[in-house]
Amino acid sequence: TEATFGLPVFRHPPDHEEIARLLKSAMQFPERSHLIGAYALGKAQRVMRLLREAGYDRPIYIHGALAKLSEYYQSQGIDLGQLEPATVESGGKADFEGAIVVGPPAAFADRWA
C-alpha cells in the first residue's frame, strides 16, 4: 500500500490471510497480548478495519499516537469499532491478556510495550 514495497520483489500474503493468522494466534494463546506494529496514519486504521471485517468485536487497544487519527477516521464514517487506550493507567500488563494492541513500531522497543 505504499511505494516502499512497490517493487515486484516484495510479495506479501493477502491481508485477510494475515488477519486470520493473527486471530488464530489470539485464540490459541489467550493469556498473551498480541502486539501489532503499524504506522499511525493509514496502516493502523487499515489493520483495525480488517480485524473488524474478520469479525473481531472485542476492544482494540491503541497507543496514544494513533488516537486522534483514529478518531478522525471514525468521524468520516470509517467504523473501527471500540478502541481503548493501551496505557498503564488503563490497566497493568495482566489486564491486556488476550488483547490485540496496535501501536507504532518504534513504541514496542520502548518501555511502553
User: What's the domain count of the chain?
Assistant: 1
pLDDT in tens, 86-101: 876 656 777 889 999 9
In a domain, 18, yes or no: yes
In a domain, 8, yes or no: no
Give residue 63's domain range.
13-109
- The Cα angle at residue 42 between residues 27 and 40, in degrees rounded to 5: 80
Who's near 42: CB < 8 A, 6+ residues apart?
1
Q: Pull the grid cell for residue 83.
A: 478502541
Q: Is residue 46 part of a domain?
A: yes
pTM across the whole model: 0.86
Residue 63 resides in a domain = yes
**Would you say residue 112 has pLDDT above 80?**
no
Kindly state the cell numbers that stand for 55.
Answer: 469479525
Q: Encode burial over 83-92: b for 16+ CB neighbours within 10 A, e otherwise.
A: beebeeeeee
2 in a structural domain: no
Give the model confidence (pLDDT) of 5-63 as tens digits: 677 787 888 999 999 999 999 999 999 999 999 999 999 999 999 999 999 999 999 99
Asked if residues 96 and 61 have their Cβ atoms less than 8 Å apart, the reply is yes
